[in-house]
Amino acid sequence: MQPHKNPSRRALVVALALVTSSSAFAQQADDSTLGTVSVTATRSERGPASLAASTTITRADIERLQPSSLPELLRGQPGLAIYNQGGEGKLSAVFLRGTSPGQVLVMIDGVKIGSVSAGMSALQDIPVAQIERVEIVRGPMSSLYGSEAIGGVIQIFTRRPQADGVSPHVGVALGTYDTLKSDAGLDGRRGGFWYSANVAYDRTRGFNACNGDPVTFAGCGVIEPDRDGYINRSANVALGYRFNEAWKADARVMRIQGDNKYDGSWANRSTIVQQVAGAHVQYAPLQWLAIDLNAGRNDDQAKNYSPYGFVGFINTRRDSASLKADIGTRTDLATVGIDWQRDSLVSDTPYDATRRNTHALFADWRGDFGSQHLQLGARHEDNSQFGTHDTGHVAWGWDLTKALRMSANYGTAFRAPTFNDLYYPGFSNPNLRPETSRSIELGVDGSHDWGRWGVHAYRNELRDLIAFNPFLTSPSSPWGMPDNIQRARINGVEATLGTTLAKWDINATASVLDPRNKTPGSAYDNLLNRRPQRIARIDADRSFGQWSVGASINGASHRFDDPANRVRMGGYATSDLRVAYRPDAAWTLQLTAQNIFDKAYETARWYNQAGRTLMFSVRWQPKQ
């Protein structure tokens, strides 16, 4: 097949050269109170802050909110909507700024994760007990990360020691649906050496996941009025050492094993393995130079069972490596590098191909010029399946005052077809092109003594979206195949606010978006399915000595389950309460009540959600 056509490679090389050389000429700038510190937004711990819209969820937030799962933690964050198919451990996916789950890149400690066959990440299987923080970057990020980063990037950082000395922790929680959650760990740091070892075990008997229709095969396609439970076992080990001022290295591995029961006509139980391993070496011989080498592997394995026995399996693997250099100062930094990635799979389904490779060259430059801030980036990617693809971005910020910044962003992004799209026997198309997008964004952010706020408006134009075309056939796919036939336009506005009011810590987000199908035909101008047009969340917390109390409200407007907009799911709002008591610095007792008004709602048609739940937890974590 012919490689996908892109802008001139010569233009990209010129852009990379300009980005690299410009660090020598940028002027010094005053520190800004508005910069957003996000490793994910820049792929660097150095230099000026990124101009991208981002959110960070810390370990303190996790312990305060006590979410039942990672999707529960992410729910209601700016521009982010969740759908879930029947409770904890069941398929959960995110829409970030209205883009599809496959158009959101997910990483753990710098390693890309996700099934290379289905093109999605199993967020439901990542236990919150293993998480130190989550960074969410909104907007196109393909110029830094390549495929999938159309809507943005979600990066999960696992737990690490935060101070010198030894820090153990143990937690146990009991709750509704015969739920048990437990975790334990030991972190330590001494001199240049640090380590972290954590284990967790989650179990729930769950509830009936789905009320399917066996006549039309809607939803799960069956009626199985049972309890669909879930078991999750995980372990995470990491260690690092700083040899001297120039050299440091670290390595980590996380393994998750799950056993999930669900409702389905083909299978109703699966066992999964998620494993992420990575290593990092940094050499920083000078204040203005740091060279990083990263390597990682993600294994995504699943076996499916019916009541009569084993049904099938699919194991996918993603190997990756990168070499990058940071050149410059804290007000003027160029990042250049190369990426390598190999996707492969093994399955009892005979795929037409089981491996593909990707090589990429990227560069990013950030500079502060007094009240002006600029960011430029470009990436050239070469995929062994579809050829080359170029992406880029430009961002500008202007500090109107020390407390107020205006910004503008433009970027292009893409998503490579999945192995199912390209090679699944009987229903695939090896000639598919990548999905592409062009996005523009305007924002205003404020940082004051009383708190922080921001408003961002954006438009994202998507082209060549992959959808099944029954009229496109071949000898190997006589009943149709995927094709690049769809278009979409997503307009949106998101607002955030963080402040203290009458000693209450208030954090609120609201998002309004209009995700429309722009493909000529019967579905033209329909809403993209499963995306609510309005999302909101508010958290309020206050401490009273040894006690603390809090409440959260999550809401979403109606959505349609199908592209034809005929299957409507109503909007909803759920309310949560929490109270914690700390008898001393080491112990915390907490009671959390979620969905206290027992609201019945759906985020995916036919699939049930948890009703009113209670969770009582005890945690021992001595303070250093």
Q: Is the pLDDT of residue 25 over 70?
A: no
CA distance to 147, 280, 297, 383, 437, per residue, from 415 (Å): 5, 26, 20, 12, 9
State the pLDDT at residue 33. 44
* pLDDT tens digits along 306-362: 999 999 999 999 999 999 999 999 999 999 999 999 999 999 999 999 999 999 999
Q: Is the pLDDT of residue 4 over 50?
A: no
State the pLDDT at residue 399. 97
DSSP 595-617: STT-----SSTTB----SEEEEE
State the pLDDT at residue 52. 94
Give the tokens for residue 573.
Answer: 């709002």
Helix (H) or strand (E) holding 14: helix 9-21
Q: What number is the average pLDDT over the span 54-82?
A: 94
**Which domains does the chain carry?**
9-620 (2.40.170.20)
Q: Is the pLDDT of residue 32 over 50?
A: no
Q: Is the pLDDT of residue 96 over 60?
A: yes
* pLDDT tens digits along 120-130: 999 999 999 99
Q: Which amino acid is at 454?
A: G
State the pLDDT at residue 15. 38
Q: Is the pLDDT of residue 107 over 90?
A: yes
**Neighbouring C-beta atoms of residue 30, cutoff 10 Å:** 11
Q: Is the pLDDT of residue 433 over 50?
A: yes
Nearest CA to 552 among 506, 493, 510? 506
CB-count exposure of residue 146 (10 Å: 0-12, 13-18, 19+): buried
Confidence category of residue 218, pLDDT binned at 50, 70, 90? confident
Confidence category of residue 201, pLDDT binned at 50, 70, 90? very high
Q: What number is the average pLDDT over the span 380-392?
A: 94
Q: Is the pLDDT of residue 14 over 80?
A: no
Q: Is the pLDDT of residue 16 over 50?
A: no
